[in-house]
Chain A
């Protein structure tokens, strides 16, 4: 006889979803690219023969050679080393910024959608205001005022990026709330906490995940732009900052392609990977939500 402990309670949808995901070729390819960058971020320093901050011993603005695979910059620093340490910063900002905006967005979205009434009206007005604030200028101003530490940048990205998430999560919570199994859960005497934990969170979670991927792409793009515009954390060079120095040193007019192309390509690959993974997630979890817009992508 089967005992209670042997009976599955919750559908393990992860394996099934992963199988569907694997059918999306671009999604799988993107995941591989992303894992590669994460690997570089974690272990990359071991591959670099030079101290990224040391300069002076090398020639300046050298084209790629055997000793400097990606050449050197205007101060003679090894660009491959800079690129590797930039990976860590960019991914760090992307991940932490996303986590903050997801937590804030999901919390506001669920509370707003589940509770409804005046709280909902108030929170959604706040969200609407956040949505119309032009976030690149806002981030620039905040970064200028708060100072350019990496944690400030993460906070700025997290605190300006949650509005879209809150809206999506609220819409989903509202639609789940109307489903009959929520009503049924109430009839059998479930508490609000139980309903949110057992019925709403599991249904909202895939959406949060799909949205997190898109937000991560935006966060990395935002960090790059901030750094390029000179608002980055000077103590932690990122891809955007390499491009900032490249631009300032006139790499564009002197055709120093080794200085300009690799960092941009890194951003492009990571952002593109996140976008394709996001597309794949959307197709798995919520085909109907595909039409949503990405406000504020400048």
Chain B
């Protein structure tokens, strides 16, 4: 872990509002488009060489945050600031953006979809170099592709280059995708559920690869997952998301050993432990995560919280620090302190 004081990313009060479908008639009438808040005021930072995990169910906005970090969303839908090395990504000039695209990369969830099946593995890995005109000679291009594939564990690289993604297994494809990200020597990586589509038996390889990049090259990473136990396994810190907002953030060990927010506690209790479970140990929540358009008032978790009080549906709890950067947004914590 790094002691460098300046974070590679700092995110302040990030909100993302997606416009909903609007009839053509209303569009020409100039009516304001209805929106849905996918991300609703999120603050966090990622230190150099750190792996931060975003954990949440579908609809929690975790992938949207990942895209916002990489400036993949329409700037019109974003408010708040996302700073990469102290500079707001929305203010990037064209040249800034070109450098930025080389330094921040992404790994996708589905290795079957993230690679264009009509292009060879070589091209998949070499494409970033092509589109950014990063290599001058063919030899240099070939060498960089070879090194990246080797690093991604595709050995020998030559045996993969001429083939196409559909000739490979899911794990090998994900390695191609990782090689395609590594070929530019990025400093930062968004890994969006990189193992959720893979067989259990090969998840470890991909996770080791990501951890290895951090260990050997100091690559920082935002690891997006729905699986708290995977987040706990590989990351330094974990942020728990619920309906577009961070409920709890802190060191991975802290979150696992001493969860503060009721949502985290419940998530933790249903994680499989591969041991005989004692009766009643699971704290199941009722219902499902509401649609972001119908988020409850006050604390957005209040509609499913087993400890919900009257206050919870009236006002929204602020993040409170319980020491060592372990923060949670819940009124129960205030009561404990008081």
Contact = CB atoms under 8 A, between A and B. Distances in A.
Contacts, number: 93
Given A9-B120, A10-B123, A188 B161 contact: no
Nearest to A182: B116
A8 B167 CA distance: 14
Contact of A118 (B27, B105, B108, B127): B27
B102 A189 contact: yes
B130 to A, nearest CB: 8
Given A11-B120, A184-B106, A121 B27 contact: yes
A187 B105 contact: yes
B108 A125 contact: no
A132 interface: no
B184 interface: yes
Contact of B131 (A9, A118, A189): A189
Residue of A184, A190, A199, A202 with most chain B CB atoms under a 10 A cut-off? A184
A121 B24 contact: yes
A7 B116 contact: no
B222 interface: no
Contact of B108 (A5, A184, A199): A184
A90 to B, nearest CB: 35
A235 interface: no
Contact of A188 (B113, B117, B128, B138): B128
Contacts of B301: none
B117 to A, nearest CB: 7
B252 interface: no
Given A5-B138, A9-B123, A189 B118 contact: no
A292 B98 CA distance: 42
Interface in A1-43: 1-11, 13
Contacts of A203: 118
A103 interface: no
Consensus secondary structure, chain A interface: helix
Interface residues of A, number: 32
Interface string A53-89: 0000000000000000000000000000000000000
B259 interface: no
A92 interface: no
Nearest to A185: B127
A245 B248 CA distance: 84
Interface string A149-192: 00000000000000000000000000000011101111111110
Given A10-B118, A189-B98, A179 B113 contact: yes
A2 B138 contact: no
B138 to A, nearest CB: 4
Nearest to A203: B118
A115 interface: no
Given A10-B118, A121-B27, A191 B131 contact: yes
Contact of A181 (B27, B113, B122, B161): B113
Contacts of A236: none
Contacts of B97: 189
Nearest to A191: B131
Contacts of B131: 185, 188-191, 194
Contact of B119 (A9, A187, A191): A9
A186 B128 CA distance: 10
Nearest to A195: B131
In which size bucket is the chain B interface?
35 or more
Contact of B117 (A11, A125, A194): A11
Contact of B114 (A10, A121, A181): A181
A184 B192 CA distance: 12
B72 A187 contact: yes
Interface string A95-138: 00000000000000000000000100100010000000000000
A118 B76 CA distance: 15
Contacts of A180: 108-110, 113-114
Interface string B114-141: 1111111011000110011000001101
A198 B124 CA distance: 11
B162 A188 contact: no
Interface in B141-165: 141-142, 158, 161-162, 164
B317 interface: no
A184 B139 CA distance: 25
B179 interface: no
Contacts of A183: 72, 106, 108, 114
Given A7-B122, A11-B119, A189-B128, A184 B142 contact: no
Residue of A2, A8, A11, A189 with most chain B CB atoms under a 10 A cut-off? A189
B101 A188 contact: yes
B24 A125 contact: yes
B114 A184 contact: yes
A190 B130 CA distance: 9
B177 interface: yes
B67 to A, nearest CB: 8
B49 interface: no
B180 interface: yes
Contacts of B106: 183-184, 187
24 contacts: A1-B158, A2-B162, A3-B138, A3-B139, A7-B120, A7-B161, A8-B120, A11-B118, A11-B119, A121-B27, A179-B113, A180-B114, A181-B113, A181-B116, A183-B114, A184-B108, A184-B180, A187-B72, A188-B101, A188-B131, A189-B128, A194-B131, A198-B119, A203-B118
Interface of B: 24, 27, 70, 72, 97-98, 101-102, 104-106, 108-110, 113-120, 122-123, 127-128, 131-132, 138-139, 141-142, 158, 161-162, 164, 177, 180, 184
Interface of A: 1-11, 13, 118, 121, 125, 179-181, 183-191, 194, 198-199, 202-203
Given A2-B161, A180-B110, 4 more contacts: A1-B158, A186-B72, A188-B101, A188-B105
